A and B are shown apart, each in its own frame.
Chain A
Amino acid sequence: MPAPTNPATSTALSAPALPRVRVGVLGRLRRATPTERREWLLAFILLCPALFMLGLFVAYPFVRGIWLSLLDSVVGREGNFVGVQNYVKLWHDSIFQRTAANTFVYTAVATILKLSLGMAVALMLNNLLGFKRILRASMLLPWIVPTVLSTLAWKWMFDPTFSIVNWILYHLGFIRIRVDWLGGPVAAMLSVILVNAWRGMPFFAITLLAGLQTISPDVHEAAAIDGANAWQRFWRVTWPLLMPVTMVVVLFSVIQTFADFQLVYILTGGGPANSTHLFATYAYQLGVATALLGEGAAASLAMFPVLFLVVLFQLWYIRRGQDGEGAS
């Protein structure tokens, strides 16, 4: 799996692995031949546009966001430095506590749902002989279509008075009275998680399917000859071989789900009574709807430690896999 490598190895990416004496960047600059220097200059020029954009619109806002979270800014007025007061205030804010708990539950439940459903669908598609392409194409639709627009359709399907979901469940005999899907805290949370799983499952299914297709059927044949049943073959053969792909997909999805905004914004707006907020929707409510910029910035930066850990873990995992490949 090609992935970012550390400086010591990337320079030798496809060059024969010569024993290399480690010298610092400065040492290498001094010892470089003119050809090498020309190559470095070209690399620098080619990287400039990307680094400029990312520096200006990611790195700079990040620093500015940290600063902003330390001010008592309100939209339209310069803030004063208040230290970590915004964070302290959030820490004692019962809505924020609820928000943090929601975000973890939302991420955990939705990810488990997406992984198990996606895995099931990938295995079934892999076993299918015909129609594979058309099924794969149509199944990705929730992932292609603007999330806000498909979520609007779900909101209409969950409508308290005209709900088609209720109609179907009633006529199938599952319910006798109406379910207010977005009306109560638990039901609303459940609905939001279901829609997230609906939208994210195809990504899992299609990526896992791509991973499954790289596993040689021979491995399964061999396991089958040794008397392993389908269940054992999955857990002992498919699951371990698929682990690298699964891991990356799960980590990607965890980041996206943890930082989700659109679904909750459309379906519940964080309600009823602030019971379904995620970090991002609460940050929006504070920073945009109530114009408390500093507090809003603090609420969204509260996501950072968790995201940071996930990213670190992902980098570590990818690099570990790469070292393993390099050894073989």
Chain B
Amino acid sequence: MAAVRGTWWMRWVSLYLPLGAIVILTLFPFYYMAVTAVRPDREMYIPWNRPNFAPFWTLRPTLEHFALLFRETLFARWLVNTLFIALMSTGISLFCGLLAAYALARLRFPLGGALGTGIFVTYLVPQTLLFLPLGEVIRSFRLGDTPWALILTYPTFLIPFCTWLMMGYFRTIPRELEECAQIDGATRLQAMVRIVFPVATPGILSAGIFAFTLSWNEFIYALVFLSSATQKTIPVGVVSELVRGDTFFWGPLMAGALLGSVPVAFIYSFFVEQYVSAMTGAVKG
């Protein structure tokens, strides 16, 4: 390793202190979100330049904001909606992506390369480019304001990603493995399902976790395609129901933000390695 050599204080100045500062900056908003979520209202709205303002902690933590969230908003409903939509769209995308990736990485057929490029290009299309006409399409299929509006449109950015990632995995699996199975009398399809897919399981897991968090976090489609409060996902529900005009209910807002973040952060903490490999794999192919 070309590590920083030299005295201990040089390592501190060039490494530990800046890294420490960056980690604090990175994590502080989450800490503040959590503190605000349990801070009683009478403590919350004290101007910043008052001498007795103790912003970093509270001595009287309260769960009132969480209670309000579940009592007076449909937060529990939004949680279920978000979960259902994320699971369904991830499932659809994995299915489509897996099959497409196998074809593109393993089979030789005319126009294969052109199709691969096409799928890569759709991977780069941002959601904000097409949200208005896509909304029209959704309305004309009479899917507006239903979970299916999102379940069917999230795959537009998840399939290209899954395909891309799985192609990389399939390429690392030696062809001989399949050929052996075929010599033993398995058909190409059987070789694919019984031999290649199981070997590619880590890749499928990575792609699935990444796709799940992407659909959990999606915002603009959910904002535009859903209108009734019962149908909303967490990000949209929290923003639209806890902000009334210019009034922000900061306690419940932060409680909702915290609860909406915890599930993805929790899943992520178990699968950091898969997540990182999906993220870097998505870039490197």
**A217/B260 in contact, CB under 8 A:** no
**A2/B171 in contact, CB under 8 A:** yes
Interface size class of A (residues with CB under 8 A): 35 or more
* Chain B residues closer than 8 Å to A154, beta-carbon distance: 29
Which single member of B4, B47, B175, B261 contacts A146 (CB below 8 Å)? Answer: B261
Is A108 close to B, CB under 8 A?
no
- Stretch among B59-67, B197-205, B267-275 lining the A interface: B267-275
**A53/B129 in contact, CB under 8 A:** no
Q: Which residues of B contact A (CB under 8 A)?
A: 1-4, 14-15, 18-19, 22-23, 25-27, 29-30, 32-33, 36, 44-49, 53, 55, 92, 95-97, 99-100, 102-105, 107-117, 119-122, 124-134, 136-137, 152-153, 155-156, 159-160, 163, 167-168, 171, 175, 188-189, 213, 216-217, 219-220, 224, 234-236, 238-239, 248, 250, 253-254, 256-257, 260-261, 264-265, 268-269, 272, 275-276, 279-280, 283-285
- How would you classify the secondary structure of chain B's contact residues: helix, strand, loop or mixed? helix
Query: Which residues A47-64 have CB closer than 8 A to chain B?
Result: 47, 49-51, 53-54, 56-58, 60-62, 64
The docked-state distance in angstroms from the alpha carbon of A166 to that of B14 is: 28
A-B contacts at CB below 8 angstroms, number: 340
- Taking A7-B113, A145-B264, A262-B219 as known contacts, 18 extra A-B pairs with beta carbons closer than 8 A to each other, sorted by chain A number, are A3-B285, A25-B110, A36-B108, A43-B112, A46-B99, A56-B137, A140-B276, A144-B265, A148-B217, A148-B235, A153-B29, A153-B30, A153-B33, A157-B29, A167-B48, A259-B126, A297-B133, A318-B285
With A15-B108, A146-B264 in contact, is A178–B48 under 8 Å at CB?
yes
Query: How many Å from the CB of A155 to the closest CB on chain B?
Result: 8
Is A10 close to B, CB under 8 A?
yes
The docked-state distance in angstroms from the alpha carbon of A87 to that of B124 is: 24
Query: How many Å from the CB of A44 to the closest CB on chain B?
Result: 7
**B128/A145 in contact, CB under 8 A:** no
The docked-state distance in angstroms from the alpha carbon of A315 to that of B122 is: 12
* Chain A residues closer than 8 Å to B265, beta-carbon distance: 141, 144-145
With A11-B108, A49-B99, A163-B48 in contact, is A152–B238 under 8 Å at CB?
yes
**B116/A10 in contact, CB under 8 A:** yes
Q: Which residues of A contact B (CB under 8 A)?
A: 1-11, 13-15, 25, 28-29, 36, 38-40, 42-44, 46-47, 49-51, 53-54, 56-58, 60-62, 64-65, 68, 117, 120-121, 124-129, 133, 135-142, 144-150, 152-157, 159, 161-164, 166-167, 170, 178, 198, 201-203, 206-207, 210, 217, 220-221, 224, 230, 233, 245, 248-249, 252, 255-256, 258-262, 265-266, 279-280, 283-284, 287-288, 293, 296-297, 300-301, 303-304, 307, 310-311, 314-315, 318
